[in-house]
Amino acid sequence: MYTLYYYPGNASLAVHMMLKALGADYELALVDRETNGQKSAEYLALNPAGRIPTLVDSSFLLGNKPLVIFESVAICQHLLEQHPDSTLIPSSKSALRSEYYQWLMYLNNSVQAELMLYFYPEKYTSDPNGYEAIQQRAEQRVTGMFELLNDKLSSSSFIVGEQLSVCDFFLFMVSNWASSFEKTPLSMEHLKRYLKMMAQQPCVQQAFLNEGRDLSRYD
C-alpha cells in the first residue's frame, strides 16, 4: 500500500497519474498548502524538505517504520522498480531508455525548475520591484522549452517514441501549469494534438477527477 501526500495540481500530480496508470493500491493524504501544511511539524517529520509530494511505501520497513520518499522523480523511479512489468519506461535493451532519462531530467530539472521562477519570483529576489521582470524572463525561457518539446512531438506520438511513459505525466503536468502563458502549450501545433490525446488517457482523467481539477480546456 502506498500513501501519496499531495496537493491538487502540485508536483504530486505526475505521481498521482502514474499510480493510476499502474493500477496500484494507494491512498491520498491531502497536504493543505492553504494553511502551509507542508511546513507543519507532522509533515516535516516525513519530509524535512517541506515540499510536496511525499510517498510512504508500507511494503518496505526501515527499522520499524515504512519507507518514505520525496522528490517526484525519485518517487516515480521507485514505483517503476516495484512494478517491473510496467510499460511506463522503455526496455533497458532499447536505445529509448537513454532518451527516456534525458527527457525526464529535462522536464524536471529544466522546465519545472524554470517554472518555479515564474510562480515564485519572491523566492529569488529581495526586491519586490523585480518580481515582474523575473516572471517575464522565466516565461520567455519556458516558452522556448515548450517550443523544443513541440518540435520533438512532430515526429512521435509520445515524448519517448510511441508508448506512454512517465515522461508524459511530467510533460502534461508542466504544460497544465503554463496554461496562463501568453503563448500556451495548447497554442503549439504538435503539443496541442498531444495534450488533447493525453487528456483522454483514463489515468489522467481519474487523477484529475480525484483532485477536483478541470480538463475542459483540452476538449
Residue 180 and residue 104 share a domain:
yes
The type of residue at 100 is Y
Instruction: Please give the pLDDT value at position 75.
Output: 98
Cβ-Cβ contacts under 8 Å for 110 (sequence gap 6 or more): 145
Residue 112 and residue 76 share a domain:
no
CA distance to 148, 159, 202, per residue, from 89 (Å): 22, 12, 18
Domain membership flag for residue 158: yes
Residue 198 and residue 112 share a domain:
yes
Domain span at residue 35? 2-82
Give the CATH number for residue 75: 3.40.30.10
Instruction: Please give the pLDDT value at position 92.
Output: 92
Instruction: Please give the pLDDT value at position 121.
Output: 95
Domain membership flag for residue 39: yes
Domain membership flag for residue 198: yes
Q: Could you give the count of Cα atoms lying within 13 Å of 214 in the half-sphere of its Cβ?
A: 3
Residue 158 and residue 58 share a domain:
no
Domain boundary among 82, 108, 134: 82
Domain membership flag for residue 218: no
Domain membership flag for residue 13: yes
Q: Which residues of the chain have a pLDDT value below 70?
A: none
Give the CATH number for residue 143: 1.20.1050.10
The domain tally of the chain equals: 2
Instruction: Please give the pLDDT value at position 73.
Output: 97
Q: Could you give the count of Cα atoms lying within 13 Å of 113 in the half-sphere of its Cβ?
A: 9
Instruction: Reduce the DSSP state of residue 171 to 3 states and report it.
Output: helix
Domain membership flag for residue 202: yes
Residue 75 and residue 6 share a domain:
yes
Instruction: Please give the pLDDT value at position 62.
Output: 82
Residue 112 and residue 55 share a domain:
no
Residue 107 and residue 199 share a domain:
yes
Domain boundary among 82, 116, 137: 82
Residue 138 and residue 54 share a domain:
no
